[in-house]
Structure 1
Amino acid sequence: MNALDLWDIHIGKRHPFNDRAPRIDNGTGRPTPDRYFDPAFAAQEWDKVFARSWLLAGPASDIPEPGDFMKFDIGPESFIIVRDNDGSVRAHYNVCPHRGSQLVTTDLGSLDRFTCPFHSWKFALDGKCESVTDAETFRPEVLCHGTDLSSVRCEVAAGLVFVAMDPDIQPLADFLAPILPQLELYEIDQMYVVQHRRSDWGSNWKGGVDAFAEIYHLHAVHPQTQCLMDDRTQIDLWPGGLSRQFVPFAQPSQRFADQDSVNPGIQMMLRDAGLDPASYQGTARETRAAVQQAKRRRSDELGLRYERFSDSQLSDSVVYSVFPNVQIGCHPEAVFLHRFIPHPTDPNQFTYDTCILYRHVDAPGYSAPAWMGLGAEVDLSGRTRPEVVHTALGEPPCLGEVLDQDSDLLPVVQKGARSRGFRGPLWSEQEGRLRHFHAELDRLMGA
């Protein structure tokens, strides 16, 4: 089956999930490269883009009970996202109104209230000040300036928590409207984090977005992937910088010479679907369809309700770009969250934050896709939330072969972007998601 052929065998026609979005023409312009390294551009970008956008803080599953909180750091800011006693989710700047001390320093935790470590002022989960230490020593006119935490907009969609510093921003559901029903199909709200890694890379954050928003580079940077995944596939664009791309697995790239042999990579995907590679009679180009059909049989046996998915959703990764700095790689059993966090002061660095969310099903053969690289030591039960593993700039990130290759290459691209000989990117149609992202970036920068 050709990667571009997204018809569904089980219904004999094109599945509505696979329908192409209306065409958006972002032109053929060539932006100047200063967006990748200029401190002045980065400063404006923070005020005009990040301060006016919905930002993914994390999965709602990280704060299941009242008092559970997660810390979200991005650029120069830090936020506390907390489950309130009434079950709602709230977000506050992670700063005490008294002298500016941060209130929490851990990534995750659970508290019945927030206590400032500097002078022990106390705040309820909703941000209201409960206690000012030695309040009688303050003139009333001083405390009248405000003693509550500064809160920000916070909304939940598809099991994911977003915050926004702009109080007048459009509702999150309106922003995500073109893709929200698609994301909800994956039931991310029933998944939980089984791996969370964070590493500092020597590149602008947009270099990370660019690299993860196209698969045009796979044949050059990740040639080992060509035997089991295609790199010519459907791209869809929506207003607001939203986009998606199908990444077909379990079949060789059209660039790959051998389209027949069932190589070890494809054998791995057959086993993932419950098929025995030793008894499989088809060719490599037929494996993707076989995987899809096998997963439908598994769904019928285990009651997984895969009838809500198209065939391509069962075999492929469907990758979404959520402007400005998020990629969500969706698979029925698990989801990848990728965030590209700008450095507070240096536009030549960013932090790559990635986690895998998984939904446990206690059944033989059911697991996260093997290509996600979750080792036997990873607890898939959901009983424990893994700690965040953070590697600093210059340390081996140990993210897996493919991601380590990206982390090695992006500093090389960043150095080239600063050359007088580079006049800006030239994007192909395979890089349509990049052009779409930068068009939205330029729209906000010019607002």
Structure 2
Amino acid sequence: MKLDFDTWNIHVGTPHPFNDRAPTIDNGTDRSDPRRYYDADFMREEWEKVFCKSWLLAGAASDIPEPGDFFKFDIGPESFIVVRGDDGQVRAHYNVCPHRGSQLVTADFGSLDRFTCPFHSWKFDLEGKNIAVTDEETFRPEVLCHGHDLSSVRCEVAVGLVFISMDPEIGPLKEWLAPILPQLELYDIDKMYVVQHRRSDWGANWKGGVDAFAEIYHLHAVHPQTQCLMDDRTQIDLWPGGLSRQFVPFAQPASRYPDQETVNPGIQSMLADAGIDPETYTGTATEARAAVQKAKRKRSEQLGLGYERFSDSQLSDSVVYSLFPNVQIGCHPEAVFLHRFLPHESDPDQFTYDTCILYRHVDAPGYSAPAWMGLGEETDLSGETRPEIVHTGLGEPPGLGEVLDQDSDLLPIVQKGARSRGFKGPLWSEQEGRLRHFHAELDRRMNAGKGA
């Protein structure tokens, strides 16, 4: 029997084109082979067929505003330099000298007028062209004719985000993003900048991270403290190429939560965020979400924020997009968070969780990023300074906040269970439709070229 989503999905708000459901994609009911979570051979093949053939989110264009500004992007066994050239164009090169293979940069960020190899001082301009070979006369011309410029990769920018691809034949970035690009453009991410950036190493496969963050079915069990202020049954949309989105309603209790009346401290905080005094609010917890939406529209009219382009649900909820293979973007009118699940270079039982928050400063009373994002008073919201990346190693307390720390504690347990002979592969519900969609795209890529 086919499940009617409307029998249990929470309506996302007043009808609005943004909320229109995507055409149905049926990804079947098969179980996926659990080897994908732990098998080293699968991991090596996955690197070649998935990561080397996909668009990968490297970082925010706001991190390299001026010519010569660069940042380093590491993923799996590779490292890349993303740099803004003298012509204003953003380019990406493998972070390796063609002479003896030394990495050129080790800093996460910087600004240079050229790249100089620390081993033998070979020099390269921002476009990757070699401009100096130390003692060039000692090289036979036939040696240097093999090529001594940097190796570059495809690099394109969309909505203020820089993507790279190791596949020279890959289609245009915006062509792949086309189903969701107009939606992302509404949030003016290109006008935002990073105000918090954290990394932590987790004891699980990167796909375990994708799985955990692409569904909210687990909230009642793993994060019960969220049930009083956010719902866990809501709209899911799927598009070709492994793209998906989900609305996560805030400022109302989950439908399974027993108390739908009491305005608890979490909802009080969200009311205050929207400019509503919790002490004078007379509605119920269930009515708070609509009150937040109305208050934000009023604030927009007063401050000229342009929120008329957003649906009601965009004003109160988190609209979370999945970009295959390893990215989630959580969108809010005031701020956006990026999650990246970076595979380990050789160990299928480890990955690096990379998360950052982008914010656009508006000098107006009451305007701020959602309080639940956890930006402390010490956070510089002006955009004048780029925060350092705080990186915690495997086994160290990640300090990401209560909810994310709970995830980091749980995923190694899930990873260990995935290796059990008793686990035959996941059994996904319709609430986990984004997971099935992700793994269907993964299987399509992995099976490409294998025939029927």
User: Same fold by TM-score, threshold 0.5 exceeded?
Assistant: yes
Aligned partners of 2:143 and 2:171: how far apart in 1?
34
How far the C-alpha of 1:5 sits from its partner, in A, is 1.9
Residue 228 of structure 2: aligned partner? 227
Amino acid at match of 2:71: M
| Residue aligning to 2:120 | 119
Partner residue of 2:5? none
Spell out the pairing of 1:364-379 with structure 2 (5 A cutoff): 364-379=365-380
**1:376-419 Cα deviation digits (max 9, x unpaired):** 11111111100000000000000000000000000000000001
Q: Is residue 81–residue 89 contact of structure 1 (8 Å, CA) maintained in 2?
A: yes
Partners of 2:421 and 2:13 lie apart in 1 by: 47
Q: What is the root-mean-square deviation of aligned Cα atoms in Å?
A: 0.7
Kept after mapping to 2: 8 A contact 1:3/1:230: no
Q: CA deviation at 1:6?
A: 2.5
2:131 paired residue number: 130
Instruction: Report how far residue 7 of structure 1 moved.
Output: 3.4
- Which letter does structure 1 place at the counterpart of 2:12? L
Q: How many angstroms apart in 2 are the aligned matches of 1:103 and 1:300?
A: 50
TM-score between the two structures when normalised by the length of structure 1: 0.98
Which ranges in structure 2 are unaligned for 5 or more consecutive residues? 1-7
Match of 1:311 in 2: 312
Where 1:336 maps in the other structure, the secondary structure is strand
Instruction: Give, in whole Å, the separation in 2 of the partners of 1:108 and 1:3.
Output: 43
- The separation in 2 between residues aligned to 1:395 and 1:156, in whole angstroms, is 34
Alpha-carbon distance between aligned partners in 2 of 1:3 and 1:411, rounded to the nearest angstrom: 30
The AA in structure 1 aligned to 2:193 is Y
SS in 2 for 1:284: coil
Q: Give the partner amino acid of 1:274.
A: G
Counterpart of 2:24? 23
One-letter amino acid of the structure 1 residue matched with residue 10 of structure 2: L
> Which residue identity is paired with 1:89?
V
Q: Within 2, Cα distance between the matches of 1:433 and 1:7?
A: 21
CA offsets 1:69-128 (integer angstroms, 9 cap, x no match): 010000000000000000000000000000000000011110000000000000000000
Name the aligned partner's letter for residue 338 of structure 1: H
- For 2:330 and 2:201, the matched residues in 1 are separated by 21
| Structure 1 gap ranges (5+) | 9-13
Distance (Å, rounded) in 1 between the aligned partners of 2:120 and 2:265 = 60
- Aligned runs of 1:15-414 on 2, under 5 Å? 15-414=16-415
How far is the alpha carbon of 1:32 from its aligned partner?
1.4
**1:11 matched to which residue of 2?**
none
What residue number does 2:3 align with? none
Query: Residue 4 in 1 paired to residue 5 in 2?
Result: no
User: 1:43-69: CA deviations, max 9, x gaps?
Assistant: 000000000000000010001100000
What one-letter code is carried by the residue in structure 1 that aligns with 2:377?
Answer: A
Moved over 2 A (4+): none
**In structure 1, distance between residues paired with 2:90 and 2:380:** 27
Shift of 1:3: 6.7
Counterpart CA distance in 2 for 1:361 and 1:354 is 23
* Percent identical: 81
- Does the Cα contact within 8 Å between 2:202 and 2:350 map onto a contact in 1? yes
Report deviation, 1:363: 1.1
Deviations 1:242-277 (A, max 9, x none): 000000000000010000110000000000000000
C-alpha separation between the residues in 1 aligned to 2:184 and 2:114? 33
Partners of 1:233 and 1:106 in 2: CA distance: 42
CA distance in 1 between partners of 2:33 and 2:446 (Å): 14
**Structure 1 counterpart SS, 2:297:** helix
Cα pair 1:3 1:248 within 8 Å, conserved: no
